Chain A
Amino acid sequence: MTASLDRGAMGPAADPALGRALDRALDRALGRAVRGPGFSARLAPRALLVASAALAVLLALAVASICFGDYPLRFDQVVDAIFGGSGGQSYIVQRFRLPRAVGGALAGALLGLSGAVFQTLARNVLASPDVLGVETGAALVTVILMTLGLTGTAALTGGAFAGAAVVTAAVYVLAYRRGINGMRLILVGIGVNACVTGGTSYVLMLAEVHTAERAHNWTLGGFNGLGWEQVAVLAAGLAVTLPLATGLAARLRTLSLGDGVARALGLPLERSRLLLVGTGVLAAAASVAVAGPVAFIALVAPQIARRLIGRPDGGLVTSAIFGALLAVAADFAGRQLAGDAEIPVGIVTALAGGPWLVYLLMKRGSRSTDG
């Protein structure tokens, strides 16, 4: 739905030729318009194609990650085990590998969605929930809770979520000065993150060594312990934030045209921004609270979506699918690369994502980075 961008909202074009040219440009950018009585939507064949191809790859990767492991399974055994079946194989699949694959995909999807919201909102490909402190906030609270001996799943998930929300809110409030500016938000985020990370290392140092090690491992992110309870929390997070975000998509797209245009089109700027930031943080915090911080997915997934679809906003749903794909792929790689041991998924994504970010910075070096 792109009501705010359609011709009606842009005002009647004085020149019919200009109007037709505008229509054609919009069709190219956003897909062919389909209008009926009381509704209008755009169909973008390329976006649909990319999204379904990504879904297919995601499915294949998930099946592969269920097949391979310390105890390899054939494809037909996996299918048997998923749809009923009993005995050791179905126990392995239903108790461990399936929730891990599904949970990892959901966690990645939440991050991809969150990243898409932030990047479009800040009009800056470098904006992501990490910068706002979602990860460091969650890590600080989790490390404190673990040090105090509170290791129940509910306490940790709730605490991590609260930490993410509080630190992000602090960054938002501190960066607010007659409105929100994308670059100031990022810089304030860097400062707050440095402070919170300092707190985390301090607590890690106070803790007894085994506790400290477990807490530190949590901060690396991992899908290792995911069970159906955690999958349910992640699914609930996606069920809340995906409709919210797609419902706000029209506002998001208008905001991405710049404050001046958005204001001229009658959009309440600060309120829309707050709603969108809230949705993005909710998505990222749900993911981080359950699966730990998995770096860079929120940054990279929307950019892949954008490049493949070939339009300025990658599309929220497509970004979420690519987030899921990246998470499952990184988890799979982390389990396969190190032989007997396994590399936490957050380390795999950071090792792969850091160079990507550097590449982006070098490519846009000649342009201004003001958002």
Chain B
Amino acid sequence: MPSRGSATTAVSGLVALAIAVGVVAMLSIGVGSRFIPPDSVLSALFSPGGGFYDNVIWELRIPRTVAGLVIGAALGLSGAVMQGLTRNPIADPGILGVHAGAAFGVVVAIYVFGLLDFRAHVGFAFAGAALVSAAVWLVGSRGRDGATPVKLALAGAAISAFIGSATSLVLYADSTAFDEFRFWSVGSLAGAKADLLLAAAPFLAGGALLAFGVIRGLNALSMGADVARSLGQRVRLVRGAAALAVVLLSGTAVAAVGPIGFVGLTVPHVARALAGPDHRRVLPYSALLGPLVLLGADIVGRVVAIPSEVQVGAITAAVGAPVFIWFVRRRTVREL
């Protein structure tokens, strides 16, 4: 374990992570149902137009890889902010109802408004995610002890169940919506196209800016609301901005590629283990670890079932759920 105090170790850790992300991104361009040798990848990247693989690389692999980088960073960041905001080690956008809300938004877009265009889904999914996570927060933070982990998790489960049944009702009534929805609901990077990424970019950039803007506030909040207040932080403002950042980042991510669970949950834990509890380090580490995990899972999904592929959402659920359970078991219940 590197020394947590020194700024140079933190920076060199970040550089190492960035190199790892670059390697995984290269792999992600090269690996798939058709393997592309590294020299062809490089020539397609830096002198496009001549190579045999250029089309595959520029039309499919690069948008998918960029989606993995951007969405992974968004999921990692949103998880780190969510856990800092709630001071809750098991906070995850999915557990707190963002996925159920986004799913309902997508179903409403398909069924009520007949929209089959991805860019339209983004707005609806985003609105659904925002409304539902606000409701979960309101219900879970009632009472003197505020938003305790257990209360938030239970409120998330209750409201997700309710919204989920409303989603089911629509899917039951409409076969077209069901057919569209079942592919969205697994969570996959395969459908990512350049225009979709462009539509999502402003939301993600805004969320990332907000997230890095509240770092000081999150550090103060980690000592408790009272201490944060006495340190001169406007607690409500910090909490509101952090929550908005989470909804912008994870809501847009869900809208763009479907619900991908457990990345936002586990990545910040790894970041804290590597970099310590200071959010000035946790956030950048999470923003690099997120793409590493997501692209890694996506590559695994592409090769485990050749010639078909397993969607990245299924891979992260299969790997992430055991990690979640391990966290729950590791702590005594009161600490949770």
Which residues does A use to contact B, with CB under 8 Å? 126, 131, 174-175, 177, 181, 183-184, 186-188, 190-192, 194-195, 198-199, 201-202, 204-205, 209, 212-213, 216-217, 219-220, 295-296, 341, 343-344, 346-347, 350-351, 353-355, 357-358, 361-362, 364-370
B172 in the interface (beta carbon within 8 A)? yes
Q: How far is the CA of A341 from the CA of B161 in the complex (A)?
A: 23
Report whether B318 and A343 are in contact in the complex, using a CB–CB cutoff of 8 Å: no
Q: Which residues of B contact A351 (CB under 8 A)?
A: 162, 165-166, 169
Interface assignment of B274: CB less than 8 Å from any CB of chain A: no
Q: Which of A183, A184, A202, A350 contacts B329, CB < 8 Å? A: A184
Residues of B in contact with A (beta carbons under 8 Å apart): 90, 94-95, 139-140, 142-145, 148, 150-151, 153-155, 157-159, 161-166, 168-169, 171-173, 175, 178-179, 182-183, 185-186, 261-262, 310-311, 313-314, 317-318, 320-322, 324-325, 328-329, 333-334, 336
Residues in chain A near residue B144, CB distance under 8 A: 366
In the complex the two chains form, what is the Cα distance from A212 to B178 in whole Å?
9
Q: Contacts A351-B162, A351-B165 known; A358 to B139 CB distance under 8 Å?
A: yes
* The residue from A204, A358, A364 contacting B162, defined by CB atoms under 8 A apart: A358
Which one of A187, A204, A354 contacts B153 once the chains associate, using CB atoms below 8 Å?
A: A187
Q: Tell me, rounded to whole Å, the shortest Cβ–Cβ distance linking B188 to chain A.
A: 9
Smallest CB–CB gap between B265 and chain A, Å?
10
A-B contact pairs, 30 of them (CB 8 A): A175-B329, A184-B328, A186-B154, A187-B90, A188-B328, A190-B157, A192-B321, A192-B325, A194-B324, A195-B320, A198-B321, A201-B186, A201-B313, A202-B310, A204-B182, A209-B178, A220-B172, A295-B161, A296-B161, A350-B161, A354-B161, A357-B162, A358-B162, A361-B139, A361-B155, A364-B143, A365-B143, A369-B148, A369-B150, A370-B334
Give the chain A neighbours of B322 by CB distance below 8 A. Answer: 195
B272 smallest CB distance to A (angstroms): 20
Q: How far is the CA of A191 from the CA of B265 in the complex (A)?
A: 11
What residues on A are CB-neighbors of B186 within 8 Å? 198, 201-202, 205
B-side binding surface: helix, strand, loop or mixed? helix
Q: State the Cβ distance, A223 to closest chain B Cβ, in Å.
A: 15
Given B161, B173, B178, which contacts A216 in the complex, CB threshold below 8 Å? B178
Q: Chain A nearest CB: distance from B181 CB in Å?
A: 10
Q: Measured between C-beta atoms, what is the minimum distance from A191 to chain B in Å? A: 4
The interface residues of chain A lying within 8 Å CB-to-CB of B334 are: 370
Minimum distance in angstroms from B34 CB to a CB of chain A: 22
Q: Are A357 and B328 in contact (CB under 8 A)?
A: no
- The listed residue (B142, B159, B310, B336) touching A187 by CB distance below 8 A is B336
A184 touches B333 (CB 8 A): yes
The answer to whether B165 touches A295, judged by C-beta atoms less than 8 angstroms apart, is: yes
Task: Say yes or no: A199-B182 contact (C-beta < 8 A), given A184-B328, A347-B169, A361-B140.
Answer: no
Contacts of A186 in B (CB 8 A): 154
In the assembled complex, the Cα of A156 lies from the Cα of B233 at a distance in Å of: 58
B317 → chain A, closest Cβ, in Å?
3
Decide: B151 and A369 in contact? CB cutoff 8 A: yes
Q: Do B333 and A183 have beta carbons less than 8 Å apart?
A: yes
- Nearest first, the 10 closest Cβ-Cβ pairs linking A and B are A354-B162, A198-B317, A365-B143, A350-B165, A195-B321, A365-B142, A357-B158, A366-B143, A191-B324, A202-B314
Q: A351 CA to B170 CA in the complex, in Å?
A: 13
Question: What is the interface of chain A mostly: helix, strand, loop, or mixed?
Answer: helix
Residues of B within 8 A of A205 (CB): 182-183, 185-186, 311
Q: Which residue of B lies closest to A219 (CB)?
A: B168
Q: Are A355 and B153 in contact (CB under 8 A)?
A: no
Across the interface, which residues of B come within 8 angstroms of A367, CB to CB?
143
Contact call B148/A199, Cβ cutoff below 8 A: no
Most-contacted residue by chain B among A191, A192, A202, A344 (CB, 10 A): A191
> Which A residues lie within 8 Å of B90 (CB)?
187
For A175, list chain B residues within 8 Å (CB).
328-329
Docked pose: A355 CA to B90 CA in angstroms? 24
Residues of B within 8 A of A212 (CB): 178-179, 182
Q: Is the CB of A355 within 8 A of B162?
A: yes
Interface contact B165-A195, CB-CB below 8 Å: no
Chain B positions within 8 Å of A220 at CB level? 168, 172
Q: State the CA gap A219–B167 with chains docked (Å).
A: 13
Minimal beta-carbon separation of A351 from chain B (angstroms): 5
B258 to nearest A CB, angstroms? 9
CA distance A369 to B336 in the complex (A): 12
A296: shortest Cβ distance to chain B, in Å?
8
What residue of chain A has the Cβ atom nearest to residue B140's Cβ? Answer: A361
**Bound state CA distance, A195 and B142, in angstroms?**
29
Contact B314 A198 (CB under 8 A): yes
When C-beta atoms are compared, the residue in chain A nearest to B136 turns out to be: A358
Q: A194-B94, A198-B318 are in contact. Are A358 and B333 (CB under 8 A)?
A: no
CA distance A355 to B159 in the complex (A): 8
Q: Which residues of A contact B314 (CB under 8 A)?
A: 198-199, 202
Q: Which of A174, A204, A216, A362 contacts B139 (CB 8 A)?
A: A362
Most B CB contacts (10 A, CB to CB) among A216, A358, A368 go to A358
- Are the C-beta atoms of A198 and B172 separated by less than 8 Å? no
Q: Do the beta carbons of A365 and B325 come within 8 Å of each other? A: no
Report the minimal beta-carbon distance from B119 to chain A, rounded to whole angstroms: 22
In the complex, what's the smallest C-beta–C-beta distance from A186 to chain B, in angstroms? 8
Contact A174 B321 (CB under 8 A): no
Contacts A191-B328, A216-B182 known; 12 new A-B pairs at CB < 8 A: A175-B329, A183-B336, A192-B325, A198-B313, A209-B179, A212-B179, A213-B179, A216-B171, A350-B161, A350-B164, A354-B163, A358-B162
Instruction: State which of B157, B172, B311 has its C-beta within 8 Å of the C-beta of A217.
Output: B172
Contact of B165 among A191, A216, A347 (CB under 8 A): A347
